[in-house]
């Protein structure tokens, strides 16, 4: 069994925020593979289903923590302990300001780069979970980071790359279930090439936060 956890903030007012792209990604996966209805579990909204890869149906629990971003790890840790899962069986989908819009990177372990949701997951689970980092771009100045991630994707962003990217993440998800993270990244890039827009350079020596 695997956990696919998207990070975000609960509530309709946050639903279209860049900070909620993790929620958007796991919703797209659940819809594509016909997961069951959402229900409240583990301080989160949870859906269960199966993703076929390599002739095997892999059971996946999708989680959207409802504790707000800064306490996301409570739900993830609780679910992982309940199912007695190893850290590498947990995959976190979240926004990354240090990646250009539409780019995807997957890695295991590492730091938090100022992301409070990842900091919380690390505190409750450990650091060797897998991470799907979804680029939302950097606004160029540290003082603008919070406003950037806590604002809606524009209509142009949704039409130019976001909707296509979310669909590509869902279509490529079977690779994640069998540990083929590089193949996942390649397939997403093939299905949804990132837009050719320059990434503003952050101020020297700064990391994103929010």
Q: What is the pLDDT of residues 24-52, one digit of tens each?
A: 999 999 999 999 999 999 999 999 999 99
Span 77-120, pLDDT tens digits: 999 999 999 999 999 999 998 899 999 999 998 887 778 899 99
The structure tokens listed for 35 are 């997961």
Q: Is residue 157 part of a domain?
A: yes
Q: In 3-state terms, what secondary structure has residue 54?
A: coil
5-27 confidence digits (pLDDT tens): 999 999 999 999 999 999 999 99
- Considering its fold, how many domains does the chain have in total? 1
Catalytic residues: 19
- For residue 98, tell me if it sits in a domain: yes
Q: Tell me the CATH number at 118.
A: 3.40.50.1470
User: How many angstroms separate the Cα of 11 from the Cα of each of 18, 70, 80, 153, 172?
Assistant: 14, 15, 24, 16, 28
DSSP string for residues in 63-129: EEESS-GGGHHHHHHHHHHHTT--GGGEEEEEEETTS-TT-EEEEES---TT-HHHHHHHHHH-S--
The answer to whether residues 97 and 89 touch, using CB atoms and an 8 Å cutoff, is no
What is the domain range of residue 106? 2-191
């Amino acid at each position: 069994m695997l956990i696919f956890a998207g990070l975000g903030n609960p509530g309709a007012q946050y639903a279209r925020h860049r900070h909620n792209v993790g929620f958007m990604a796991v919703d797209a996966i659940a819809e594509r593979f016909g997961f069951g209805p959402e229900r409240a579990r583990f301080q989160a909204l949870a859906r269960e289903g199966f993703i076929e890869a390599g002739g095997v149906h892999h059971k996946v629990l999708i989680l959207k923590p409802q504790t707000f971003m800064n306490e996301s790890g409570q739900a993830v840790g609780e679910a992982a302990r309940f199912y007695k899962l190893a850290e590498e069986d947990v995959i976190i989908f979240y926004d990354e300001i240090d990646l250009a819009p539409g780019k995807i990177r997957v890695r295991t372990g590492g730091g938090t780069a100022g992301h409070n949701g990842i900091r919380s997951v690390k505190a409750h689970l450990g650091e060797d979970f897998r991470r799907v980092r979804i680029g939302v771009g950097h606004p160029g100045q540290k003082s603008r980071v919070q406003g950037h991630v806590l604002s809606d994707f524009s209509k142009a962003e949704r039409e130019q790359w976001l909707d296509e990217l979310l669909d590509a993440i869902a279509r490529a998800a079977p690779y994640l279930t069998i540990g083929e993270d590089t193949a996942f990244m390649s397939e997403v890039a093939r299905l949804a090439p990132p837009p050719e827009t320059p990434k503003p350079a952050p101020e020297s020596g700064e990391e994103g936060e929010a």
